[in-house]
Amino acid sequence: MSASDATDAPPQSEPALRAIAMPADANPHGDIFGGWLLSQMDLAGGTVATRRAKGRTATVAITAMTFHRPVFIGDEVTCYAEIIKIGTTSVTVKVESWVRRGIGDEHIAVTEGIFTYVAVGNDRRPRPVPPES
pLDDT tens digits, 61-83: 999 999 999 999 999 999 999 99
Asked if 30 and 100 count as a contact pair (C-beta separation under 8 A), the reply is no
Residue 1: pLDDT band with limits 50, 70, 90: very low
pLDDT at 102 exceeding the cut of 90: no
Residue-level pLDDT at 103: 87
Residue-level pLDDT at 5: 46
Could you give the CA distance from residue 119 to residue 114 in angstroms, rounded to a whole number?
16
Residue 3: pLDDT band with limits 50, 70, 90: very low
